């Protein structure tokens, strides 16, 4: 692929930037400086929470040296940014929480290390809901770059709206052309939902494909890293670099070799069976979202795919199951933040127990406290069997529903969320409204399946709508192929917000 000399650097995708760098049409230092300057111009969106220009430019100079020496990696010199849930040596890692304000990790997360090994540069860290808990990116307790106090991330398509969460800063950085690609994490839909709301492409791989080492934990059996970019082709390049076994450091890592996920991007879709779950198209689906999704499905029929009606009968149960299992795991994981070894510590306390209480009361935000309390409750004596154990049983049944469906189809398609992005503050103090927005993304997360969001059109207020594609275990290449072929037939992924 050759780059267009008339395109601005921020309009180039990952593959175009990599090709331009290898051809020495511009240097890694020039690309890094361009994106750093652009991030500053658009800092009102609140996407970045940390930048370190010296560290980024040092990485760029090293990349230019490798390009000159002919030892460039697949992503050499391509600037990206990381969700602030991954620990990094050169940038603070806060997980969007006061609890970790100013924390500087002595090591990089495996995902960060692997992307750096492929040659990618780090522009900075991206805003997210506190400890990745949220569907709107309104729960961050960290001030974005250029702000003096915490502020919500704003959707560049309409700055009065939320970008989705918890990877809201990541989605906004790509949609606003502040970075060509980014990392995100998906526990219950936190890559797919903000990708849908911001009109970009994002993929959550099979659970265990990408190492969780150095990812600040929320729910260990659900958290998974993935890339977010403008196109499926760019996501494939990043995913190929991110994935692979990390058995010595991550007990949930799968012993499955890394793949070239771009290998089958141009395969024909002739004969592909796409399952359409009836439960994803019920009364709760907004008409504008339904219309955009149906139009995308018609494109697949034109490309040779067959639409097959299927059923995922326990879809509605995914919300109560997830909001028992995820808080239970969060309750356990976040117990380490007690003011003893690292992170925030209360200034005034009388004894150790008082220090624990005050530290956690001051350090955690409302949503994190809410989930810790729910998790502690369902794990407590007398309630474990009634709630947590039952939820795990239903989780297995949800996974079985998918396996039954995959006997009839190759991929599953439907909406990512019931509506387009809502207005900032619209859900107010009603967390249940946010939880219900995850109904279509939670089932695949509970089953550990790969899923992605692909731009599929626009709905109410000109806001983006994403099509969700779900594959069977290890079907990332097939998902990316289906997404790529749709993107060759449509231009939704190329459109960008006005005024940027």
Residues marked as catalytic = 83, 166, 190
What is the helix, strand, coil percentage profile of the chain, to 5? 40, 15, 45
State the burial class of residue 352 (Cβ atoms within 10 Å of its Cβ: 0-12, 13-18, 19+).
exposed
3-state secondary structure (DSSP) of residue 463: coil
Helix extents (H) in 131-189: 168-175
With a CB cutoff of 8 Å and minimum separation 6, the contacts of 238 are 14, 75, 80, 115, 120, 181, 183, 227, 229
Alpha carbon distance 207, 392 (integer Å): 16
How far apart are the C-alpha atoms of 117 and 72, rounded to whole Å?
10
How far apart (Å, rounded) are the C-alpha atoms in residues 434 and 336? 27
Buried b (16+ CB within 10 A) or exposed e, 6-35: eeebbebbbbbbbebbeeebbbbbebbbeb
- Region at 94 (left for phi over 0; alpha for psi -120 to 50; beta for the rest): alpha
Q: How far is CA 120 from CA 80, 125, 129, 203, 241, in A?
A: 7, 14, 25, 19, 10
The length of the chain, given as a count of residues: 500
CB 85 within 8 A of CB 128: yes
Cβ partners under 8 Å of residue 51, min gap 6: 36, 39, 91, 123, 124, 125, 145
* 447 Cβ contact list (under 8 Å, min separation 6): 395, 398, 399, 402
End-to-end CA distance of the chain: 26
Please report, for the chain, how many H helices and E strands are present, in that order: 15, 11
- Nearest Cα to Cα of residue 416 among 194, 230, 235: 194
Q: Which residue, among 32, 34, 71, has the nearest Cα to 55 in the 3D structure?
A: 32
| Chain centroid, CA 258 distance in Å | 20
**C-alpha distance from residue 56 to each of 17, 113, 150, 264, 364 (Å):** 17, 14, 24, 33, 31
């Amino acid at each position: 692929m050759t780059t267009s000399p008339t395109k601005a650097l921020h309009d180039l995708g990952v593959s175009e930037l990599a090709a331009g760098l290898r051809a020495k049409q511009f240097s890694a230092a020039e690309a890094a400086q361009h994106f750093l300057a652009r991030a500053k111009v658009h800092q009102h969106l609140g996407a970045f929470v940390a930048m370190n220009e010296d560290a980024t430019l040092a990485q760029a100079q090293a990349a230019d040296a490798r390009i000159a020496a002919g030892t460039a990696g697949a992503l050499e010199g391509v600037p990206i940014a990381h969700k602030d849930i991954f620990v990094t040596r050169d940038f603070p890692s806060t997980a969007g929480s006061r609890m970790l304000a100013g924390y500087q990790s002595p090591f990089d997360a495996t995902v960060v290390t692997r992307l750096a090994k492929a040659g990618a540069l780090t522009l900075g860290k991206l805003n997210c809901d506190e400890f990745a808990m949220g569907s709107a990116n309104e729960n961050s307790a960290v001030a974005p770059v250029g702000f003096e106090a915490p502020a919500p991330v704003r959707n560049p398509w309409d700055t009065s709206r939320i970008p989705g969460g918890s990877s809201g800063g990541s989605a906004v950085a790509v949609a606003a052309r502040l970075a060509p690609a980014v990392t995100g994490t998906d526990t219950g839909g936190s890559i797919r939902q903000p990708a849908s709301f911001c009109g970009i492409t994002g993929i959550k791989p099979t659970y265990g494909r990408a190492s969780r080492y150095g990812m600040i934990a929320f729910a260990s059996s659900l958290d998974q890293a993935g890339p977010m970019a403008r196109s499926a082709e760019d996501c494939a390049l990043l995913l190929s670099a991110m994935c692979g076994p990390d058995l010595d450091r991550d007990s949930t890592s799968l012993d499955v070799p890394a793949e070239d996920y771009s290998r089958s991007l141009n395969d024909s879709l002739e004969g592909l069976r796409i399952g359409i779950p009836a439960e994803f198209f019920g009364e709760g689906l907004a008409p504008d979202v339904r219309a955009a999704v149906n139009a995308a499905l018609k494109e697949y029929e034109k490309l040779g795919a067959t639409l097959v009606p299927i059923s995922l009968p326990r879809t509605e149960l995914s919300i109560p199951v997830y909001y028992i299992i995820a808080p239970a795991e969060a309750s356990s994981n976040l117990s380490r933040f007690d003011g003893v070894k690292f992170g925030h510590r209360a200034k005034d306390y009388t004894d150790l127990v008082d220090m624990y209480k005050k530290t956690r009361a001051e350090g955690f935000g409302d949503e994190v406290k809410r989930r810790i309390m729910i998790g502690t409750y369902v794990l407590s004596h007398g309630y474990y069997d009634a709630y947590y154990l039952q939820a795990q049983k239903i989780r297995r049944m949800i996974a079985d529903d998918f396996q039954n469906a995959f006997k009839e189809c190759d991929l599953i398609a439907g909406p990512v969320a019931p509506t387009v992005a809502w207005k900032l503050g619209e859900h107010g103090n009603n967390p249940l409204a946010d939880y219900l927005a995850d109904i279509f993304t939670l089932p695949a997360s509970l089953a550990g399946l790969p899923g992605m969001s692909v731009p599929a059109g626009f709905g109410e207020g000109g806001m983006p709508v994403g099509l969700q594609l779900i594959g069977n275990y290890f079907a990332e290449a097939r998902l990316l192929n289906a997404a790529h072929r749709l993107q060759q037939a449509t231009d939704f992924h190329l459109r960008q917000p006005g005024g940027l």
